[in-house]
Structure 1
Amino acid sequence: MRIERADASILHADLDSFYASVEQRDHPALRGRPVLVGSGVVLAASYEAKAVGVRSPMPGHEARALCPTAITVPPRFDAYLEASRAVFDVFGDVTPLVEGISVDEAFLDVGGMRKISGTPVEIAARLRERVRIDVGLPITVGVARSKFLAKVASAVGKPDGLLEVPAGGELAFLHPLPVRRLWGVGEKTEARLRDAGISTVGQIAQFGERGMCSLLGHGSGRHLYALSMARDPRRVETRRRRGSIGAQRALGRRIKSESDIEATLLAIVDRLGARLRGADRMTRTVVLRLRFHDFDQVTRSRSLREPTDSTAVVLAVARGLLDEAMPLVRDRGCTLIGLSLTNLEDHGPVQLAIPFDAPDHSADLDLAVDALRGKFGRDALTRGALLHRDHGPDAPMLPD
């Protein structure tokens, strides 16, 4: 057996019954009840409906025959896309090495993060907690040394679970599983394997590569045999540059003061500014998102005439957006605040606007702060507004 990685540090994060979970989150009356998204064809089913055999895609009349008490709701793709973006913002906070597979799942590489973030399992546990608290959705995470095994682990760990395949335990985990767990095994391939007396992954390994090639052809045979031996050298790919970055923080159900909300915004802006400069990107649009006690939410955005990577500029825009939305916050309370920087561009030469202003040294300050935090940790410097919140009383201060 050949395993390419020395540590189980690849995560596969997969939201549970994504569309149905969003509906149950946004409509409390649906929680704990069987829910079908889509009427003609079931696009998603809650786990209460899956428990009686409902699957997607399945004709609606078949699903309702299996589960007469199911509640059918129309899809709300805008809500699902927004929830997906919020979850991927959490992923981006965990590691820059994120490979999105679909709107509800991704691979994350957390190798080399042990000293600053803990073990991969500890990182996965915090990721699940943040998605649950910040976005209000359940998510399952598989942890393994390869993308294939991490995905299998998340499938086995569902719903709302965390499952690690420890380094060295790959075959012990994989071989008892049914052949349908392998990528590339559909109904027809499963039938051919069953006719040959093969029902588990371990039996594929015992059958051997030559036997599998004789049974299924050279390409499919080699592929399935390699997977049965836990061979998957593919890395997490992040080639496509993201068009936005963001972060959000849950505020809890307790009523927060306006100063508390603004302090949370300050902390988010500081972190996003560092991420923006670290990726050598600039932003043109700032988007503020607020969620209220009834899970309703509002979004405000503003675009800039020139792209920027300045924390001060982003903070000024974000504060303006928060001021506009503050009357709603006073009336309805705020349980979550999020900020996204969109319309990102690669950093390049900037055309100065006329008239030329006095020299602006804020960029130098940003770079100096980034360097100090990179060397001594995020808590090395903090703003005065955050001094008594998340940092010790002796932390140096930044100007507000």
Structure 2
Amino acid sequence: MAGIVVIGAGQAGSSLVAKLRTLGFDGEVTLIGDEPVPPYQRPPLSKAYLLGTMDLERLFLRPESYYSDNNITLRMGTPVTRIDAAAKTVWLGDEAVPYEHLALTTGAEPRRLPAAIGGDLDGIYGVRRLADIDTMAHEFAPGRRVLIVGGGYIGLEAAAVAAQKGLTVTVLEAAPRILGRVAAPETADFMRALHTSHGVTIREGVGLTRLTGEGRVSGAELADGSTLEVDFVIAGIGINPAAALAEAAGLTLENGISVDDQGRTSDPAIWSAGDCASFVYNGARIRLESVQNAIDQAEAVAANMLGAAKPYVPMPWFWSDQYDVKLQIAGLNTGYDRIVTRVAGAARSHWYFAGDRFLAVDAMNDPRGYMVGKRLLEQGKTPDPAALENPETDLKSLLK
């Protein structure tokens, strides 16, 4: 009997199959992943796991026994070759797996540096999968020189680990500043100062012309004419939704796999959730690349597969750990025109407004600011900017 098949054994896929069982679904459930390990957390890869403070077993979202104990067929190291939507069949090479409902939780793939500029040399790494980290781990020896291309959160997290391990670290950002797409200048200024205080060199507004080396990368030529000697390179230049299977199956794509407000694709038997799925939020079609969205959207899809028919309303939140700073972000800052800065002791937060409307908060070592900001967004409230700026204000009073 055909049951529910989920392609993509990451945070979203694992959350979806677990929710199906929690909701009482007792039919066949199959979770298919192309990596040879059970579903695991990705955020610690570029932080605690790379730093060596988290072992492999702690990365796993659930023990492998969880899946067999809950009658979930877990297929690891098994790439899906194609989806036959008309026949409601997933193909794993020559093996056919039928489905009644199919979910695509295929996540995203890191952008690679082009071969034309030396991106195919040895010693160049991405940061997305467990294998990426395991392959590059030996490079992190004191005194070695690493060039990190891209000044977003992934690049900066890798830079923090490298600096803590005693490497010579250069971050190269072609845009005018780091975190240009995702954070206000105030947050970028704070993070830049944090990294430079740990010996990291940040080059902003300077592009990469090409990487050089005989077989293996050994240098970089920059757009301003300068050169660097390097021992290895990390590319942190963003991700693309993993949508090739969906495209080949004829599903509608729009900045990822297009889904409706319940998580259903253009094929009524196929659903999608997580980093690969795009949906309409506040009038615009977006993808949310976050752990919380992967969990929440996947659980909503599981419920809707079983007939809940409930629209998914996300509450965006993110985090990044760098050195001894925990940056927590609630909301989406798109369209902001004003920043209100709050400093209270060691805690600092930047609050985003569009006119009189509160949009988001970046909280640095400020868990209370983050939690209050999150609650305000959930309640649709806008705090008084003057009260925010006053360090004597009890933030909880803003919730009343």
TM-score by length of 2: 0.27
* Structure with a larger share of its residues in strand: 2
Larger of the two Rg values belongs to structure: 1
Which structure has the highest helix share of the two?
A: 1
